[in-house]
Amino acid sequence: MKWFVNHNSRVHGPYDSTEIQGLIQTMGSNSRSTYLWTRGIGEWITADKWTPSIAQSTQSERLFNTTTKQQPVVNQTRQAVPQVLADDRRYKVQYNFVDQAPMTKDELLSYTLKQDDVSKIAVFDSASQEWKEIYAIPEISQKLGISRRKNARVPILAQFIGASTKDVKVSSRVVTISIGGMGLTDTFDLSIGDTIRGQITSPQFFMPLNIEAEVTYTGSDGYVGSKFFQLNDDTLALITEYVNKYSDKD
């Protein structure tokens, strides 16, 4: 499990849980103004609220349960290539870090074809006990002709304020961002297909960013995934600079 640290509007990492525990011990009162984030949680948390049990429970929630046994808690970074998918097995799938129903290989192929942004799909590999990007599964990526993501997503501490085309006001935290879209939390009044317009503000950007996006995912936990419409040159340049700065560290 890899954690990112946001202190004084600077993002550092990734760190494993042992390194995070050591860092927190040296923070003192700064732990209340330092934020932590990892895949599988919907928002940044302050360092003073982090405990080893939080790390373990977050990791456990993301583990894949086969129909015969539960896999042990292990590191779930997406790096190595998983073994060939077996046709008669079901695999746990995440879209934008949100769990989907277990799928067979054929169901996974069909599901992948229906997604606008396949970079958000990850599959749990029971052999290595890790989450893998869909691109790391040769028989899927080769069959569908997909290549590694072009829009890397990175964590960010930001705010979005705006409204939808249905006159629903939106005031949400932005927890992930890419050149292609953003992930919001604490948002319960939007539906897939809604268009939102407004501004992203963050210490990472020297000015508010005007954006328009389409809602592509909504979760019962208030997480919303969205896809940007065409960004203006200034906004695109700022987001690209930020994403490129941190994407290689994931």
154-247 classified as CATH 3.10.20.30: no
| Mean pLDDT in residue range 209-234 | 88
pTM: 0.50
- Alpha-carbon torsion (39, 45, 48, 50), positive or negative: negative
- Percent above pLDDT 90 for the chain: 16
**8 A C-beta contact, residue 48 and residue 7:** no
Both tokens assigned to 67: 């129909």
The structure tokens 């015969």 sit at 68
**8 A C-beta contact, residue 38 and residue 3:** yes
Q: What is residue 209's predicted lDDT score, i.e. its pLDDT?
A: 95
pLDDT band at 144 (very low <50, low <70, confident <90, very high): low
Q: What is residue 174's predicted lDDT score, i.e. its pLDDT?
A: 92
The domains of the chain are located at: 3-60, 63-144, 154-247
Q: What is residue 70's predicted lDDT score, i.e. its pLDDT?
A: 41
